[in-house]
């Protein structure tokens, strides 16, 4: 592989840094995946898509990428989501005693699943949503429950090094001793009380409110199946320890990129960095964070009732349109999803489709699929997708102009370049299984509409305004909207 310079914004240094892989030509990337307590929403899709775009670009640049995206399948939130549904739970048995003959009563009282089945069902929802918008599967997707041994080993190393301590109250808890590690706070550049997390507020016997749980001793109200044996007492891992353990297991003690949402910087990523480096591991060279998603200018929340779920998006537009809508903003910026966002994305995809259709109708094939230098420069510079999309749509415009001018060579090169750029971004509509009404229907419609547009153009050039208006009215009645511009007439269906 020739010399390639890819720069990414590193949260720890707060600056653009050149990607310098631990192993030349190979990139190891760990991305914090979902906690599977409830259905995926737009923020989850945006985060997964950000690192899918990064992975695709790095692979286009010749790197062999190993992408690890974990699944948190045991957590307070998951247990709370199902309450106590595990068959070994004392609470569950108490309900069963109330009515041993009525399965319907038990089902209503207990819910449908134990925690582990609930977690797996939600995990499948995430996988389906990711797949629907073209997110490539990770190289490995480890679950927290499948890596308990690695977490126990890491906790013991921290205890042996004097950076963690078991609680003395017999609870089985183990905590990271923040005061023992001078580097704590370097990721988010915080000190003192700003580093106190409320996440472990209900935990027992901490030496300091800044200390965080590595291992949570089993509580009587929790199901027995949510507990694993440990030297300090049965229990389950804290949220942060799992990512440190799995990143080291699948990528090694030092790897290239750690990614996740901006909301994970503190406490999750700060705690990961502290416990991993305190254990003796160099850990991640670059920390990359994607921005959050707001809806019509407001943060998503249950209280506002404005959450946008993956199922909502995929029911409102084609998957390729959803992907485009979420990918169009720079990954580090917050994305405000508005009522017209999907319409704008549909129009953008439609412009790409119409170029391909017009070129095919003109009998022009695609030249070699090569991304323009300006596109590559934008993507190399901290994954500049907005600038890269500007290059793509400028190429679409020039391709349409070349079709109008009969410049077949220019058309072929434009079509090839657009295929290359859209392919890297995962928004080439020809690679998706369905189009607007299906490929054959769309192709036939395009041929008819383009023929009528040509007739209208001829009528206008002859100043036969009545004939030109009849064509427009005919198309309008069929739901086809015409837009006249300096580079010709564009059409869309119902303004989309």
DSSP string, 368-383: -----HHHHHHHHBT-
Tokens of 67: 């992408």
372 and 421 Cβ atoms separated by less than 8 Å: yes
Give buried/exposed letters for 406-415 (b at 16+ CB in 10 A, else e): ebeebbbbbb
Query: For the residues 293-309, what does the mean pLDDT come to?
Result: 84
Domain residue spans of the chain? 7-98+111-290, 450-496
Give the ranges where 293-431 is alpha helix by DSSP (H).
310-316, 319-327, 341-361, 373-380, 385-405, 408-425
Query: Phi and psi of 76, rounded to 5°?
Result: -55, -45
The CA distance from 130 to 344, in Å, is 22
Local structure of 355: helix, strand or coil: helix
Q: Which strand ranges, in their side-by-side order, compose the sheet holding 164-166?
A: 164-166, 174-176, 212-217, 235-237
261 and 290 Cβ atoms separated by less than 8 Å: yes
Q: Residue 88 has what pLDDT?
A: 42
CA dihedral 429, 433, 437, 440 (to 10 degrees): 90
* Degrees to nearest 5, angle at CA 42 with 38 and 44: 60
Task: List, in order, residues 6 or more apart from 174 with CB less than 8 Å away.
Answer: 155, 159, 164, 165, 166, 167, 213, 214, 215, 232
The CA distance from 214 to 175, in Å, is 5
The CA distance from 393 to 349, in Å, is 10
The CA distance from 312 to 310, in Å, is 5
Beta bridge partners of 72: 35
The C-alpha R_g of the chain, in whole angstroms, comes to: 27
The CA distance from 404 to 422, in Å, is 23
Percent residues over pLDDT 70 in the chain: 85
Query: Under CATH, which number does the domain 7-98+111-290 receive?
Result: 3.40.50.620
Highest-confidence range of 52-66, 81-95, 108-122, by mean pLDDT?
Answer: 52-66
Confidence of residue 250 (pLDDT cuts 50, 70, 90): very high
Q: Residue 483 has what pLDDT?
A: 80
Q: Indicate the angle between helix axes 439-461 and 341-361, nearest 10 degrees.
A: 80
Beta bridge partners of 66: 28
User: pLDDT by residue (tens digit) across 117-165?
Assistant: 999 999 999 999 999 999 999 999 999 999 999 999 999 999 999 999 9
Beta bridge partners of 143: 71
User: pLDDT by residue (tens digit) across 332-381?
Assistant: 999 999 889 999 999 999 999 999 999 999 999 999 999 999 999 999 99
The candidate with the shortest Cα–Cα distance to 414, out of 429, 403, 426, is 403
12 and 287 Cβ atoms separated by less than 8 Å: yes
Lowest mean pLDDT among 87-96, 259-268, 341-350: 87-96
Tokens of 138: 């990770």
Supply the DSSP string of 440-491, one letter for each residue.
HHHHHHHHHHHHHHHHHHHHHHTT-HHHHHHHHHHHHHTTEEEEEETTEEEE
Confidence of residue 451 (pLDDT cuts 50, 70, 90): low
Query: Phi and psi of 19, rounded to 5°?
Result: -70, 120
The CA distance from 171 to 235, in Å, is 9
User: pLDDT by residue (tens digit) across 153-187?
Assistant: 999 999 999 999 999 988 999 999 999 999 999 99
Query: For the residues 176-203, what does the mean pLDDT come to?
Result: 81
Q: Residue 306 has what pLDDT?
A: 83
Lowest mean pLDDT among 159-163, 202-206, 308-312, 337-341: 202-206
């Amino acid at each position: 592989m020739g010399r390639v310079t890819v720069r990414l914004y590193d949260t720890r240094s707060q600056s653009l840094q050149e990607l310098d892989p631990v192993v030349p030509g190979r990139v190891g990337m760990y991305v914090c995946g979902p906690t599977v307590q409830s259905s995926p929403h737009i923020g989850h899709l945006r985060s997964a898509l950000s690192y899918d775009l990064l992975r695709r670009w790095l692979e286009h640049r010749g790197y062999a990428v190993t992408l690890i995206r974990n699944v948190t399948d045991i957590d307070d939130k998951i247990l709370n989501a199902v309450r106590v549904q595990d068959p070994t739970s004392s609470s569950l048995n108490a309900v069963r005693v109330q009515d041993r003959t009525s399965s319907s009563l038990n089902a209503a009282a207990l819910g449908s699943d134990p925690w582990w089945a609930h977690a797996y069902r939600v995990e499948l929802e995430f996988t389906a949503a990711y797949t629907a918008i073209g997110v490539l599967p990770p190289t490995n997707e480890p679950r927290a429950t499948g890596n308990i041994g690695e977490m126990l080993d890491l906790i013991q190393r921290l205890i042996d090094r004097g950076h963690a301590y078991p609680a003395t109250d017999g609870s089985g808890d183990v905590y990271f001793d923040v005061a023992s590690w001078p580097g704590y706070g370097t990721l988010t550049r915080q000190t003192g009380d700003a580093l106190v997390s409320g996440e472990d507020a209900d935990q027992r016997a901490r030496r300091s409110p800044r200390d965080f749980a590595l291992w949570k001793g089993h509580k009587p109200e929790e199901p027995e199946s949510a507990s694993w044996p440990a030297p300090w007492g049965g229990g389950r891992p804290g949220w942060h320890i799992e990512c440190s353990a799995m990143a080291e297991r699948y990528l090694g003690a030092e790897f290239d990129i750690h990614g996740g949402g901006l909301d994970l910087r503190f406490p999750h990523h700060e705690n990961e960095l502290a416990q991993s480096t305190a254990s003796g591991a160099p850990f991640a060279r670059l920390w990359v964070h994607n921005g959050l998603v707001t809806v019509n200018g407001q943060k998503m929340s249950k209280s506002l009732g404005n959450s946008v779920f993956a199922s909502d998006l995929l029911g409102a537009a084609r998957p390729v349109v959803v992907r485009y809508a979420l990918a169009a903003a720079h990954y580090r910026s917050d994305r405000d999803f508005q009522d017209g966002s999907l319409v704008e994305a549909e129009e953008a995809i439609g412009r790409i489709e119409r170029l391909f259709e017009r070129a095919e109708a003109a009998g022009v094939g695609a030249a070699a699929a090569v991304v323009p230098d300006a596109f590559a420069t934008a993507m190399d510079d901290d994954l500049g997708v907005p600038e890269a999309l500007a290059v793509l749509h400028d190429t679409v415009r020039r391709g349409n102009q070349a079709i109008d001018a009969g410049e077949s060579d220019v058309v072929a090169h434009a079509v090839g370049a657009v295929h290359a750029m859209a392919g890297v971004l995962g928004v080439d509509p020809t690679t998706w299984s369905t189009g607007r009404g299906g490929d054959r229907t769309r192709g036939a419609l395009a041929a008819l509409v383009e023929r009528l547009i040509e007739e209208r153009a001829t009528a206008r050039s002859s100043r036969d305004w009545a004939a030109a208006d009849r064509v427009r009215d005919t198309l309008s009645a069929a739901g086809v909207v015409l837009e006249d511009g300096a580079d010709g007439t564009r059409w869309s269906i119902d303004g989309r």
